[in-house]
Amino acid sequence: MNIRKSAEVAAALASGTPVVALESTITSKMGLPAPYNRECFDRVNAAIRAAGAVPAVTAVIDGELWAGIEPHHEALVLAADEKLAERDLPVAMAAKRTGVTTVSATVTIAGLAGIGVFATGGIGGVHRGAELSFDVSSDLGAMSRHPVIVVSAGAKAFLDLPKTLEVLETLSVPVIGYQTSHFPAFWSRSSGLALGHRVESAAEIAAIAKANAELGWRGGMLVANPIPADAEIPAAEIADAIATGLAEAERAGATGPKATPKILAAIAAATDSRSIPANLALAESNARLAGEIAVALLRG
């Protein structure tokens, strides 16, 4: 299908220049409050460029899927108030709606556009109590269907992280720890959950991706990149805030995606808003690593 691309991204793909996809939810007002969403936008784009790659922010604009937006689209995306997952894309296209993309939608658009690397903050996963609610993020399934390397700081700690890893295993999505042997918990460097695979360099990740392709695997892989040590919030501190947020969400009857904003607000309040600088630092770190991986893929 026809994926719209900015002039810069189209030229980069045509010339073989490395490109990294970016979701637009984390840089919208639904991801971070202004002006931090603009700061996040600038920092992740700059980090990718510093690594030698071209950033491609994804979005849906007037029903068209974009992989790389033009400068005049930036304000529209930063202020967007509709969040679109993979399942929402055909509806948004048919109704000519505008919205920002989640992980699952971005993986889909990147795969269709031929962009093999994507940087985000943290992936969605299995929600606590999913054995009763069946609340599992579409991010996991999307990674199993599209050949895109997803670089994230693990999954948010308020999710059921052991079950998230189990579902990724069921879907045959390789999970690779970047300079870590444990799955990160977004704001914290380690969840305590051991990973089966660890690498020390972007070149090793690129080699694994190429081996995946040789095996005929049509899905992607997850690279778990811990938050920088100086930005980490201790897991015990986050746990108390999560408990408060989960209780508030339950009282409000909010579940799934609707619960997330309440939990994030509780964490921001409990940590004196240190979660916002942490979010910025991990997003920038993931963007930088994704840029390095995209460069390594072309060099190899």
Q: How far apart are the first and last CA of the chain?
A: 29
Nearest to 121 by CA among 297, 277, 292: 277
Q: Among residues 23, 74, 232, 284, which one is catalytic?
A: 23
* Burial group, residue 198, by CB count within 10 angstroms (0-12, 13-18, 19+): middle
How far apart (Å, rounded) are the C-alpha atoms in residues 220 and 213? 9
Helix (H, G, I), strand (E, B) or coil at 297: helix
Active site residue 262: no
Q: Which residue of the set 5, 83, 156, 262 is catalytic? A: 156
Does 23 qualify as catalytic in the annotation?
yes
H helical segments located in 30-160: 36-50, 74-78, 89-95, 103-113, 130-133, 138-145
Contacts with 212 (C-beta within 8 Å, 6 or more apart), sequence order? 147, 174, 221
Catalytic positions = 23, 156
